[in-house]
A = this chain, B = another copy of it.
Amino acid sequence: MLNGEKKIKRPLRWAMIGGGRTSQVGYKHRSGALRDNTAFQLVAGAFDIDAQRGLAFGTNLGVAADRCYPDYKIMFAAEAGRTDGIEVVSIATPNGTHYEICKAALEAGLHVICEKPLFFQVEQVQEIKRLSEQKKKIVGVTYGFSGYQMLRQARHMIESGDLGDIRMVNLRYTHGFSSTEDAEKYSDAQKWRVNPQIAGPTFVIGDLSTHTYYMSQLILPKLKIKSVLCDRQSFIPSRAPLEDNAYILMHYDNGAVGSAWISSVDAGHMGSQTIRITGSKASIEFTDINPTQLLYEVQGKPNQTLYRGMDYLDETALADERLGALHVEGLSDAWANIYLKFAVAIEAKNEGREDFLEDFVFPDINAGLEGVRWITNCVRSSEQGSVWVDFK
């Protein structure tokens, strides 16, 4: 059970790029990283493209004024000259900038934590992966929901054979906040998400489903997609070619099949993400609006609901427990879990403990790579007329 005591020898000196005052996701990074003050310390930042606003914001967070930088290049240069310079940087900027900032950060000798979707092309990820190996640095991806403990429980149960052979994988991440054009009219964050120059080749597939897809990989590490079919729509025509709704079908190499429904025009839906895995004996279902629970449905038996924090859970689920059963942990706790894993991985990397890293499960660059592959293959299917394509 986590209680704030240090898990690494000393907190890492951390900076953020983006995630400023107008960013919704920036605070999730800070809440995650700074949860216990024993994993990360926020010592610098290039928080905003508006340098003045970034300075005001950074100092309001307690960052020294002279370490609130107008942009990331200046920050990397300046911090490199300090004995107490930053060691790791989080990138919470629009998608289109991830690649160049990641590259620059690695080249500046920094560990990197980056927003999803990582980049636009698989080749870019492969290049950055090679660079990170060469630089002996971690690249983490902030699939924040993946920090929920019940996903570890799901992974354990599947690994243990509780479900039998896996047959179906059903994913859903839908909401209705983009049901009308007003969404982008009144929100800067939405505006760039429907601009392919900045967002990349997809809207909801990249923005929403990369989370859910990674969560499915986290709990089903052995399942590999063989082919995929993607049917996507732009119900708000001005968003085309970017989609605001998509249905995706999957064929896995073990014979399992799957479906995903991704939408930002699912008017009124407040349930967000659901993952249902069905095996020959039983199913499990996780819904992120209710992260404290995991449904476990064995055919022919009473349905079960497992609760976070209970002794009957696997040790991998209990390892990240903070508040105890009955007490709701939410998304900020999940982010804290993955940021703590980033810190542990960075320390291990710094100390050359590759063996440890081999078995240490967290959203690393391979997770980011898979997300980009998912997007790329979905787009290819869609562009060919929503047909089946091999998953490359």
Question: Residues on A close to B: CB < 8 A?
Answer: 2-6, 11, 21, 24, 26-28, 30-31, 34-38, 42, 57, 60-62, 163-164, 167-168, 170, 175-177, 179-180, 229, 231, 233, 235, 245, 247, 249, 257, 259, 261, 263, 265-270, 272, 278-283, 288-292, 296-307, 310-312, 322-333, 385-388
Q: Tell me whether chain A's interface is mostly helix, strand or loop, or mixed.
A: loop
Q: Which residues in B have their C-beta under 8 angstroms from that of A270? A: 297, 303, 305, 307, 325-326
The one of B27, B249, B326, B330 that contacts A332, using a Cβ cutoff of 8 Å: B330
Shortest distance from the beta carbon of A69 to any chain B beta carbon, whole Å: 18
CA distance in complex: A165, B328 (Å):
30
Q: Which residues in B have their C-beta under 8 angstroms from that of A36? A: 30-31, 34, 61
Give 5 pairs: A residue, B residue, CB < 8 Å, sorted on A.
A24-B323, A34-B34, A168-B245, A268-B297, A329-B330
Given contacts A30-B36, A270-B303, A270-B325, 17 further A-B contacts (CB under 8 A): A3-B21, A34-B34, A38-B61, A167-B235, A168-B263, A170-B261, A263-B278, A266-B278, A267-B298, A270-B297, A290-B328, A291-B328, A300-B312, A304-B305, A323-B332, A328-B328, A329-B331
Structural contact, A269 and B249, CB atoms closer than 8 A: no
The one of B261, B267, B272, B289 that contacts A299, using a Cβ cutoff of 8 Å: B267
The one of B4, B27, B311 that contacts A3, using a Cβ cutoff of 8 Å: B27
A-B complex: 4 closest residue pairs judged by Cβ atoms: A268-B297, A330-B330, A328-B330, A5-B60
Identify the closest chain B residue to A180 (Cβ).
Answer: B280
Identify the closest chain B residue to A306 (Cβ).
Answer: B302
Shortest distance from the beta carbon of A259 to any chain B beta carbon, whole Å: 5
Q: Which residues in B have their C-beta under 8 angstroms from that of A257? A: 231, 233, 245, 247
Task: Give the residue among A21, A180, A266, A311 with the most B Cβ atoms within 10 A.
Answer: A266
CA distance in complex: A283, B180 (Å):
14
Structural contact, A328 and B279, CB atoms closer than 8 A: no
Q: Which residues in B have their C-beta under 8 angstroms from that of A280? A: 179-180, 235, 265, 267
